[in-house]
Amino acid sequence: INAEPWWKTATVYQIWPASYKDSNGDGFGDLQGIISELDYVKSLGVDVIWLSPMYDSPQDDMGYDISNYNAIYPKYGTMKDMDQLIDQVHSRGMKLVLDLVVNHTSSEHEWFKESRSSKDNPKRNWYIWKPPKYDEQGNRQPPNNWKSCFSGSAWEWDEHTQEYYLRLFAATQPDLNWECEETREAIYEYAMKFWYEKGVDGFRIDVAALYSKVQTFEDAPIVDHTQKWQPFGSLCLNGPRIHEFHKEMYKKVTSHYDVMTVGEVGHCSREEALKYVSASANEMNSIFLFDLVEVGVKGLGRYDFAGWNLDDMRKAVKNMSGFAEGTDAWATAFSENHDQPRSVSRFGTDKNPKGHNKSAKLLAQMLSSLSGTLYIYQGQEIGMTNLPRSWPISEYKDIETLNYYEDFKQRIGDDKEKLEKLMDVVQIMARDHARSPVQWDNSKHGGFTTGEPWMRVNDNYPEINVASQVNDPSSVFSFWQKCLKVRKSHSETLIFGDLKIVDNGHEKLFIFTKENGNKKALVVLNFSEETVPYVAEEGYNLVLTNFDENSDSHLAPYEARTYIK
Ligand code: ISL
């Protein structure tokens, strides 16, 4: 029998612990809060939960700065709570996947504390240390011009030992040195096997393409002439030993367990992507590519956002859904996560209740028709939206946004108009849009906490919340339930089919087929707020739509239909 592994047809639901549900009134989400909502999660119809970092951490990057892989952040709970969570997820027939963050640790991790203590400490080589350079004026400079993903130089000066350490993200997120075998062994042991032995079912692998740095540590080419620090590009991304490292991780750890791995890879050619995820490569089961979440991003970073059109969407969907076609690799489908704004605000509308309801459903219908393992991010199932434009920068909490804002201010000065323009883009693209607390009901703070929430709840919680949707057959939530059922019952086309775009570049309609043998699905999406003429093809059965009635001659605004033959 050619049985497919369980993770291929699975739908994964991502939980970001700080903002899911607070059980003890301290204003932070926690593990007991998650446990209390497992029946809700199960009722959506998902198979797997991916839990973002719940490890001990100073939380400079919301847990992606880990100070101990084998302990729980106290505000989230204890190891006992974690064991209970694993158990409770399993007893409901679901699986639990954790986040594996091993490109870097927190600077509070014991490994780094030792490493920074002296140049001859045995763990010195576990991180990436380099002596300074000096410019013509004799001023101390970092070893090269690499820019941090969170603005500024990627190197941090350490007074104590008079060297710089590399940190591609925050100053408190030193990069581990994957060149050192002992470091890799420790990662496998503490960050991975420890959790597999506890029964977790896989990992989402953070920045999985960044571990191998080009060892010359040379300057990156200048692509942005207005700035001193330059994107590190291929000097860190998909580096020389990256596939060797992933093969080793697979051989030494992953292959010994019945688990799934999904690597955050982001940007690369199809050829490069297949190296990570072709089954015969024995590296990772699947990867996240950023085509869809970066629709409209035209420059070097997310704030170089230029708006989007349906052509951008078509191209992204084709790249994402189709990248594994005809190979032994596997795709993923997602439009949100904890680093991305809310998709209904970006690709649909949050401006009026009807448009919001219909466009959130249209996006659900599109996403659940794409190939690969499907991912839903907390709150997406009720159509949670971006934060209001009226919120000032002081409501934003994310280090990436705040550093960018400060850096921008330093470069352009306190120019009010330009800062307002930046806020226009922040309101579309910031990571914090995904990070505001889940809106459970219409009580104070959306029922997220009985205390003061660590981050303000979106003002629209009285209108958009779980309680008002779970028993309403016309809600976004109920529609997601339907989508997931239809996806499973037509998996041969929707999950496994090859995607072909058939709309001939229509300005408002996005139409594609998913084909597998003699089975064919036809997905018709009106991405506009207008009525558009459309006559359905003969010989198909309608299996899913976001309207109660469908016309023979046109599609209503944001109408979506899936036909099967
Ligand atoms: O969101 C980004 C900045 O605009 C991305 O570049 C992001 O930093 C990148 O996708 C890596 O993300 C992952 O690693 C980061 C962490 O902050 C993100 O939350 C995580 O998903 C560092 O661990």
Q: What is the CATH classification number for the domain harbouring 114?
A: 3.90.400.10
Can 206 be counted among the known catalytic residues?
A: yes
Atom of ligand 1 nearest to the CA of 339: 1
Query: What is the pLDDT, as a whole number, of residue 301?
Result: 87
Residue 206 sits in the same domain as residue 191? yes
pLDDT band of residue 316 (cuts 50, 70, 90) is very high
30-55 average pLDDT score: 99
**Structure tokens given for 104:** 């870097």
Do 353 and 281 lie in a common domain? yes
The atom number, within ligand 1, closest to the CA of 302 reads 4
The residues facing 377 across adjacent strands are 14
Helix (H) or strand (E) holding 374: strand 373-377
Using CA atoms, how far apart are residues 373 and 352, in angstroms rounded to an integer? 31
CA of 114 relative to ligand 1 center, distance in Å = 26
Same domain for 413 and 511: no
Domain-terminating residue out of 417, 449, 479: 479
Q: Output the CA 563–ligand 1 centroid distance in Å.
A: 37
Q: CB-based burial of residue 235 (10 Å sphere; 0-12 exposed, 13-18 middle, 19+ buried)?
A: buried
Closest ligand 1 atom, residue 101 Cα: 23
Closest ligand 1 atom, residue 337 Cα? 21
In a domain, 373, yes or no: yes
Cα–Cα distance between 496 and 56 in angstroms, integer?
Answer: 39
Instruction: Answer positive or negative: Cα dihedral of 275, 278, 284, 290.
Output: positive
Cα atoms found within 13 Å of the Cα of residue 290, Cβ hemisphere only: 14
Residue 342 belongs to some domain of the structure: yes
Helix (H, G, I), strand (E, B) or coil at 71: strand
**Residue 414: is its pLDDT beyond 90?**
no
Asked whether residue 347 falls in the same domain as residue 474, the answer is: yes
Residues 375, 506, single domain; the answer is no
* CA 404 – ligand 1 centroid, Å: 14
**Are 300 and 241 in the same domain?**
yes
Which residue range(s) make up the domain with 325?
A: 11-104+181-387+432-479
Please check the confidence at residue 2 and state whether its pLDDT lies above 60.
Answer: no
Tell which residue, 15, 35, 19, has the closest CA to residue 27.
19
* CATH code: domain of residue 295: 3.20.20.80
**Residue identifier of the C-alpha nearest atom 19 of ligand 1:** 339
**In-domain check, residue 49:** yes
Res 432 pLDDT > 90:
yes
Q: Average pLDDT of 546-564?
A: 98
Query: DSSP assignment of 424-484, as one string?
Result: HHHHHH-GGGGTSPP--SSSGGGGS-SS--SSPPPTTTTTS-HHHHHT-TTSHHHHHHHHH
Residue 1 has pLDDT above 80, yes or no: no
Dist. CA 75–CA 162, nearest whole Å:
35
364 and 437: one domain? yes
Q: Report whether pLDDT(255) > 90.
A: yes
Residues 23 and 87 in one domain: yes
Select the more confidently predicted residue: 177 or 1.
Answer: 177
SS3 403: helix
Closest among 261, 239, 235, 236 to 250, alpha carbons compared: 261
Whether pLDDT at 91 is above 90: yes
Residue 348 has pLDDT above 70, yes or no: yes
For residue 254, what pLDDT band results from cuts at 50, 70 and 90?
very high
Q: What is the pLDDT of residue 267?
A: 87
pLDDT above 70 as % of the chain: 100
Asked, for residue 489, whether it belongs to a domain, the answer is no
- Under DSSP, the state recorded for 168 is S
Count of domains forming the chain: 4
Residue 417 lies in a domain: yes
In a domain, 416, yes or no: yes
Nearest CA to ligand 1 atom 1: 339
**Residues linked to residue 509 through DSSP beta bridges, in sequence order:** 526
Average pLDDT value for residue range 137-158: 98
CATH number at 515 reads 2.60.40.1180
How close is the Cα of 339 to the center of ligand 1, in Å? 6
- Is residue 265 domain-shared with residue 323, that is, in the same domain? yes
Residues 161 and 220 grouped into a single domain: no
167 to each of 53, 188, 336, 458, 503, how far by Cα in Å? Answer: 19, 21, 26, 33, 45
Q: Is 490 among the domain residues? A: no
Q: Which of 206, 398, 400, 559 is catalytic?
A: 206
pTM higher than 0.90? yes
pLDDT beyond 80 at 3:
no
If we measure between CA atoms, which residue out of 302, 286, 66, 300 comes closest to residue 195?
66
381 and 403 fall within a common domain = no
Residues with CB under 6 A from ligand 1: 61, 64, 101, 149, 169, 206-207, 264, 266, 301-302, 338-339, 400, 431
Please give the pLDDT value at position 210.
98
Mean pLDDT value across residues 139-165: 98
Residue 491 maps to a domain: no
- Pocket mutation for ligand 1, best pick of 99, 173, 292, 339 (most atoms within 8 Å of C-beta): 339
Does the structure show a pLDDT above 80 at 379? yes
pLDDT, averaged across the chain = 97
Half-sphere exposure of 439 (CA within 13 A, CB side): 26
- pLDDT category at 48 given cuts 50, 70, 90 is very high
Hey, whose CA ends up nearest to atom 2 of ligand 1?
Answer: 339
Classify 450 in phi/psi space as left (phi over 0), alpha (psi -120 to 50) or beta.
alpha
Distance CA 348, CA 302 (A): 19
User: Which run of H or of E encompasses 158?
Assistant: strand 155-158
Q: What confidence tens digit (pLDDT) does each residue in 169-207 have?
A: 999 999 999 999 999 999 999 999 999 999 999 999 999
* Co-location of 91 and 125 in the same domain: no
Q: What are 497's two structure tokens? A: 């089919």
Residue whose Cα lies nearest atom 4 of ligand 1: it is 302
Is 201 a residue of the active site? Answer: no
